[in-house]
């Protein structure tokens, strides 16, 4: 077996920032993460050998950081201060990833990770990267070497097309494509090319920690829904659940300060966020991340919000990260700059644009301390949780939006 | 310096069949070959370093066949008999390519090869392959690695497009692209891919002797204009010149028999050929090669000719080899099959379709034993020789065609 994951750094940087957060504030919380294939018509378990998948996942459990990798993390001070505490780094240094449960059911994989949140959290992007790469390997199993060459050739020309379109606009963007990449090797290539071609034209870095280290560019990312979801799940009463989102924001700011102060607004619907966010926070924080729903509407909503609160949006930032392609990116950039800064976390379509259909696979938190975890998001197709809990959360967060659009990526 | 030519086999197979012909019938003839850049708006000498070109050419002069290569040639019996005599092989085994003269003038190279015809003849495709590859290297000198990757990517997708178009038609064709290839490495790749993809769908072999040996496919080719041109040039009187073409055909058949009996008809105009070719020859020979003028008209002319002589064209073959692309190939194939067999010697557009413009470079015989050599061809843009000699040959061969079309390749 040729391992797909060869280092624990080959994962999204925000897994480390979140892991330190969990290690610091929620060290005793237990969680379960589970795989969902939103492209359910693709029978993954018929295409990927379960033994091979298991072997790849097991290999990740043998990995530990080497000295250079640890020193790299210790040396990170992107926002003017050391990002990781020595205590956390020592924890990470001794970490082995916990066990996984894997079986197949009706042509799909059931893949679950259960255990201490501070350990389990790291699994997400490793497992997704592995499943995606095995899937594309299976699609190409019967390909001739030339047919495989042509897939790469198409990927290169598609990448060139993106670069040619982006360059004149000087658009700030980040590679967010680790979890849905065509292959590790391909993401590595894409990042190298972007560094050479667009470093001075907007390419800001990658969410992939290993590639950031390898190519000497910025590791990027802040946090994901799992923080708000877990903290809500363990909160207890409806009002505690409602209050929990703000607690996460406060703890986050306490830990990372202004540098990583990008608020992910859609976990329980962005309407709730804008209706309840304290003025001081919205004034202090660097900006917002948009990850579901209509990005243009979100942009206008944010602009109006800032202006309504007498905050100059020109000092603020929106990071768009929901199923982007080059034309949407240019559109959003042109629509909102310079009224507000924009940046783009570009995933699937950046690292997996080879002419194949893409999968919408996620590994999401399903429970914390035995209680179901819920995400509503600004697109009900992305909602997570048991139906009765989703209904309950909708009430708690006064969620009224009907936006529902199938996820392509 | 990384040599472009690494073996004397890396040249068109017909150079060896012609060389044996010359060795056998015209061993004392002296000739001069010279380079012509028909794409004269490209100032080659401004793009290619003359020192580098000289070094590459000089390297070819250091090459000799190794034992395996010699044994490969000795072992060739494609048409049921040993193709090369031991005397010729021994001559070839001791051959070192003769000197060349190279200088620059008005942005172009003057490149001439003078000496014994049986030695000089081999230079043609080596020198053309070298100049072409150096030209494309110079075009890409300032390219980033990614931009170079994209050139190859485009070449791969263009090749796939050809394969997809050709496969359903099962069209017999041969790689004739050695002299105008993008690079040695690329031609090697193209041939390997064609072998895998189309061996059972019409791909018959390559004119490149080294690649035929390497990939275990058929080395293809018969002869070129230089034979008829040199023999005419040294013939003497007008009537001797007029008779010389037929003598070449007879000697050729004597040496190679039916296997290589493809008549190149256009040296002094195909009209002359059809008007004068003896009935016995046209009945005996396998077929014709079309290398200039309108290929469709040529095909109809040949069909009518065969039918007028009560020869069944269904037993005959036309090899088209003039500036082909995949659509023309399919067109010609559909138009003439099964009335007459067709095959296609596919050059520039097969091995040099990368998105760059192509050059129309030739290295042609300019004199034999001090007398000017002339080619008329079925396209006056391809005519070679001093104007007064061209005029003289036109009279000798009753050449009346006005067809004149700039050469793109």
Q: What is the pLDDT of residues A344-374, one digit of tens each?
A: 999 999 999 999 999 999 999 999 999 999 9
Q: What was the pLDDT predicted at A84? A: 95
> Span A64-86, mean pLDDT?
89
Cβ <8 Å between B154 and A154: no
Q: Is A196 exposed, middle or buried (0-12, 13-18, 19+ CB in 10 A)?
A: middle
Please tell me which residue of chain B has the smallest CA distance to A143: B197
Q: What was the pLDDT predicted at B373? A: 98
CA distance B154 to chain A (A): 7
Q: Which chain B residues contact residue A152 at CB under 8 A? A: 153
- Residue A237: count of CB within 10 angstroms of its CB: 9
Q: Is the pLDDT of residue A80 over 80?
A: no
Please tell me which residue of chain A has the smallest CA distance to B159: A150
Non-local (6+) Cβ contacts of B81 within 8 A are: B257, B259
| CA proximity to B136, closest of B211, B51, B48, B40 | B48
CA distance A44 to chain B (A): 29
Q: What was the pLDDT predicted at B81? A: 81
pLDDT one-digit tens code per residue, A171-186: 999 999 999 999 999 9
How many residues make up chain A in this entry? Answer: 409
Q: Is the pLDDT of residue B409 over 80?
A: no
Say what percent of chain A tops pLDDT 70: 100
φ, ψ for residue B363 (rounded to 5)?
A: -120, 110
> Span A271-295, mean pLDDT?
96
Average pLDDT, chain B: 96
> Span B17-27, mean pLDDT?
98
Say what percent of chain A tops pLDDT 90: 96
> Span B376-391, mean pLDDT?
95
- Residue A56: count of CB within 10 angstroms of its CB: 22
The verdict on B158 touching A (C-beta cutoff 8 Å) is: no
| CA proximity to A132, closest of A311, A361, A381 | A361
Question: Residues 187 to 206 of A: which have CB under 8 A from any B CB?
Answer: 193, 196-197
Cβ <8 Å between A149 and B156: yes
The verdict on A327 touching B (C-beta cutoff 8 Å) is: no
* Element housing A138 (H / E): helix A123-139
pLDDT one-digit tens code per residue, B155-211: 999 999 999 999 999 999 999 999 999 999 999 999 999 999 999 999 999 999 999
Q: What was the pLDDT predicted at A114? A: 98
ipTM: 0.82
pLDDT one-digit tens code per residue, A193-217: 999 999 999 999 999 999 999 999 9
CA distance A187 to chain B (A): 14
pTM, two decimals, is 0.89
Mutate which of B153, B158, B166 to test chain A, going by most A C-beta atoms within 10 A? B153
Crossing angle between the packed helical segments B238-256 and B387-396, to the nearest 10 degrees: 80
**DSSP states of A336-393:** HTTTSEEEEEE-HHHH--SSS----EEEEEEEETTEEP-B--SSGGG-BS-HHHHHHH
Nearest by CB to residue A157, choosing from B144, B154, B197, is: B154
The verdict on A398 touching B (C-beta cutoff 8 Å) is: no
Mutate which of B146, B152, B192 to test chain A, going by most A C-beta atoms within 10 A? B146
Q: What was the pLDDT predicted at A79? A: 80
Average pLDDT, chain A: 96
Q: What was the pLDDT predicted at B108? A: 97
Mutate which of A144, A145, A146 to test chain B, going by most B C-beta atoms within 10 A? A146
Q: Which chain A residues contact residue B150 at CB under 8 A? A: 156-157, 160
Instruction: Write out the two tokens for B240.
Output: 């001797």
In whole angstroms, what is the distance from residue B343 CA to residue B340 CA?
A: 10
Which of A26-30, A258-262, B69-73 bottoms out in mean pLDDT, i.e. has the lowest?
B69-73
Cβ <8 Å between B160 and A144: no
Mutate which of B142, B145, B149, B190 to test chain A, going by most A C-beta atoms within 10 A? B149
3-state secondary structure chain B: CCCCCCCCCCCEHHHHHHHHHHHHHCCCCEEEEEEEECCCCCCHHHHCCHHHHHHHHHHHCCCCCCHHHHHHHHCCCCCCCCCCCHHHHHHHHHCCCCCEEEEEECCEEEEEEEEEHHHHCCHHHHHHHHHHHHHHHHHCCCCCHHHHHHHHHHHHHHHHHHHHHHHHHCCCEEECCCCCCCCHHHHHHHHHHHHHHHCCCCEEEECEHHHHHHHCCEECCCCCHHHHHHHHHCCCCHHHHHHHHHHHHHHHHHHHHHHHCEEECCCCCHHHHHHHCCHHHHHHCCEEEECCCCHHHHHHHHHHHHHHCCCCHHHCEEEECCCCCHHHHHHHHHHHCCCCEEEEEECHHHHCCCCCCCCCEEEEEEEECCEECCECCCCHHHCECCHHHHHHHHHHCCCCCCCCCCCCC
Q: What was the pLDDT predicted at A198? A: 96
In whole angstroms, what is the distance from residue B344 CA to residue A398 CA?
A: 73
pLDDT one-digit tens code per residue, A131-184: 999 999 999 999 999 999 999 999 999 999 999 999 999 999 999 999 999 999
Nearest by CB to residue A156, choosing from B144, B149, B159, is: B149
Helices (H), A169-291: 184-198, 209-215, 225-233, 238-256, 270-276, 279-284
The verdict on B34 touching A (C-beta cutoff 8 Å) is: no
In whole angstroms, what is the distance from residue A282 CA to residue A279 CA?
A: 5
> Span A326-332, mean pLDDT?
98
Mutate which of A156, A163, A355 to test chain B, going by most B C-beta atoms within 10 A? A156
Q: Which chain A residues contact residue B157 at CB under 8 A? A: 150, 153-154, 157
pLDDT bracket for residue A407 (50, 70, 90): confident
pLDDT bracket for residue A409 (50, 70, 90): confident
pLDDT bracket for residue A45 (50, 70, 90): very high
Please tell me which residue of chain A has the smallest CA distance to B157: A150
Q: Is the pLDDT of residue B41 over 90?
A: yes
Nearest by CB to residue B196, choosing from A144, A154, A193, is: A144
pLDDT bracket for residue A81 (50, 70, 90): confident
Instruction: Please name every residue paired with B345 in a beta bridge, in sequence order, or none if there are none.
Output: B174
The verdict on B38 touching A (C-beta cutoff 8 Å) is: no
Cβ <8 Å between A157 and B157: yes
Q: Is the pLDDT of residue B342 over 90?
A: yes
pLDDT one-digit tens code per residue, B114-162: 999 999 999 999 999 999 999 999 999 999 999 999 999 999 999 999 9
Helices and strands of chain A, counted as H and E runs: 18, 12
The count of CB pairs under 8 A between chains A and B is 40
Q: Is A280 exposed, middle or buried (0-12, 13-18, 19+ CB in 10 A)?
A: exposed
Q: Is the pLDDT of residue B80 over 90?
A: no
| CA proximity to B95, closest of B73, B112, B79 | B73
Question: Residues 306 to 325 of A: which have CB under 8 A from any B CB?
Answer: none
CA distance A140 to chain B (A): 16
pLDDT one-digit tens code per residue, A9-44: 999 999 999 999 999 999 999 999 999 999 999 999
């Amino acid at each position: 077996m040729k391992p797909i994951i060869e280092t624990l750094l080959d994962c999204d940087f925000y897994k480390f920032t979140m892991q330190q957060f969990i290690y610091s504030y929620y060290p005793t919380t237990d969680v379960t993460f589970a795989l969902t294939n939103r492209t359910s018509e693709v029978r993954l378990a018929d295409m990927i050998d379960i033994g091979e998948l298991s072997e790849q996942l097991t290999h990740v459990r043998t990995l530990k950081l080497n000295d250079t990798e640890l020193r790299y993390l210790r040396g990170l001070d992107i926002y003017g201060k050391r990002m990781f505490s020595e205590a956390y780094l020592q924890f990470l240094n001794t970490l082995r990833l916990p066990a996984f449960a894997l079986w197949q059911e009706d042509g799909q994989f059931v893949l679950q990770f259960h255990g201490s949140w501070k350990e389990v959290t790291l699994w997400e992007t490793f497992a997704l990267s592995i499943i995606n790469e095995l899937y594309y390997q299976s699609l190409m199993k019967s390909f001739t070497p030339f047919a495989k060459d042509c897939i790469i050739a198409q990927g290169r020309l598609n990448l060139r097309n993106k670069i040619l379109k982006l360059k004149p606009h000087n658009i700030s963007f980040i590679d967010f494509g680790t979890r849905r990449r065509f292959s590790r090797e391909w993401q590595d290539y894409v990042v190298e090319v972007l560094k050479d071609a667009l470093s001075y034209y907007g390419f800001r870095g990658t969410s992939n920690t290993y590639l950031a280290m390898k190519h000497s560019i910025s590791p990027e990312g802040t946090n994901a829904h799992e923080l708000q979801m877990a903290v809500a799940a363990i909160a207890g009463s409806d009002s505690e659940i409602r209050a929990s989102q703000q607690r996460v924001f406060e703890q986050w700011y306490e830990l990372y300060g202004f540098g990583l102060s990008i608020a992910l607004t859609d976990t329980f619907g962005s309407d709730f966020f804008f209706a309840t966010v304290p003025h001081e926070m919205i004034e202090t924080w660097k900006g917002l991340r948009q990850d579901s729903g209509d990005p243009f509407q979100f942009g206008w909503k944010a602009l109006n919000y800032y202006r309504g609160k007498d905050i100059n949006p020109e000092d603020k930032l929106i990071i768009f990260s929901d199923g982007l392609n080059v034309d949407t990116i240019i559109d959003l950039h042109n629509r909102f700059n310079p009224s507000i800064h924009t940046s783009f976390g570009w995933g699937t379509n950046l690292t997996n644009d080879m002419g194949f259909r893409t999968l919408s696979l996620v590994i999401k938190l399903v429970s914390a301390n035995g209680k179901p975890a819920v995400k509503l998001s600004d697109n009900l197709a992305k909602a997570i949780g048991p139906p009765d809990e989703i209904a309950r959360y909708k009430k708690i967060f006064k969620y009224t939006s009907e936006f529902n659009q199938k996820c392509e990526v």
